[in-house]
Amino acid sequence: MQLCSVLLLVLPVLSSPIEEIADSGLSKRMTCNRDNLLRCFDPTATAAALTRSSATAFCSSFLSIPVVTSTISTETSTTMTTTATEYTTTTLPLAMKRAANTNLLQCTTAYVASRLSSACSCLNIVPSTEYVTATSTNIQTSTTTATSTATATPSPRCPLSNTNLISNPGFESGLTSWTFNTYGANTPPSAFGAVSNGYDSATAFSLSASNAGTGATLSQVVNGLVPGVTYTFAYRYLYAQTATVPSSISCSLTGGGLSSQSVTNGGPLDTWMAGPSSYGETFKATGRTGLLQCFFVATGGRGPITWKVDNFYIGC
């Protein structure tokens, strides 16, 4: 009974220091103790953790603390105007970096790994960050199409080639389609009208003036002109009596583009001649309708005169 009591009293005394010693050793390994190894890492105990370059580099490698790579992405927009060029942008992947391996410090060679881990944990090393800027170019291609519309107006053409726009040009129907008038204070002609013996035809228009002279017009409205088309005006004429009397025939197409064209006496008598010139007179029509007027003028006091005209022509 007494022996049991003694043992019960002795056992708690013997067991308590052993547990405390074991707990104390484990606690020391789990906490940051300023032992000789830590003093090797930080001799002054005042350096900031980030400035302990050699110890930080060693512990980062020993503990496999990675270098965190942070990518800063920027985008540059470029607008280009093109019609046939294509651009392709290829972005290469960025390689992850780790902290470089560092040789063991001289003072670490005598310590086991657990002591090294404990000492390194005292440095409070945090993963370092490396910033990499990746710039991508956003190319915007703009294609501009310019459309130009040109309207071409075709040149006017002669609708009916070699067609005479003059009605009753050879007076085979008398004065049909024609108008005859005297003008001004001139003496009326002594005779006028369709007569025989035309130019290569049966009839022609004839006008005679006495010694007093005369002034008269022969006219016709001409239709079917095409503005912009070039036409030819022509006729035949002759003097049947004296050529010494100052006289003239002047023809024009009012509203149609033909200015006054004149012939005067002076050729051989009773001979057909081309008027107003040897090959006719060309003009460009300015309207669709014109008034053809031929003025016959003879000066008085020089004797009688007779004209003949035939085969009037306006065509293209």
Show which of 119, 141, 163 is a domain's final residue. 141
* List of residues 6+ apart from 253 with CB closer than 8 A: 222, 233, 283, 290, 291, 292, 293, 314
Of the residues 90, 114, 141, the one at which a domain ends: 141
Rounded distance between C-alpha atoms, residue 32 and residue 29, angstroms = 8
Q: What proportion of the chain, given as a percentage, has pLDDT over 90?
A: 32
Radius of gyration, CA atoms only, the chain: 64
Give domain status of residue 307, yes or no: yes
- Same domain membership, residue 219 and residue 301: yes
Q: Give the pLDDT score at 272.
A: 94
Q: 16: helix, coil or strand?
A: helix
Query: Of 250, 164, 237, 167, whose CA–CA distance to 198 is shortest?
Result: 237
Looking at the DSSP assignment, which residues form a beta bridge with residue 290? 222
CA–CA dist 282, 314 (Å, integer) = 9
Q: Are 227 and 203 in contact (CB under 8 A)?
A: no
Asked if residue 68 belongs to a domain, the reply is yes
Question: Distance between CA atoms of 192 and 308, rounded to whole angstroms?
Answer: 10
Closest CA to 238 of 190, 306, 181, 302: 306
Residue 150 in domain:
no
Is 241 a member of any domain? yes
Domain count, the chain: 2
Last residue of a domain, one of 141, 158, 190: 141
Domain of residue 238, residue span: 179-315
Is the same domain home to 196 and 311?
Answer: yes
Residue 134 has pLDDT above 70, yes or no: no
Judge if 78 and 133 occupy the same domain.
yes
Once rounded to an integer, what is the mean pLDDT over residues 234-258? Answer: 85
Task: Say what the pTM is.
Answer: 0.53
Q: Please report whether residue 13 resides in a domain.
A: no
Q: Are residues 35 and 91 in the same domain?
A: yes
Clarify whether residues 107 and 217 are in a common domain.
no
Q: State pLDDT tens for residues 282-311.
A: 999 999 999 999 999 988 777 788 999 999
Q: Is 177 exposed, middle or buried (0-12, 13-18, 19+ CB in 10 A)?
A: middle
Judge whether residue 90 has pLDDT over 70: no
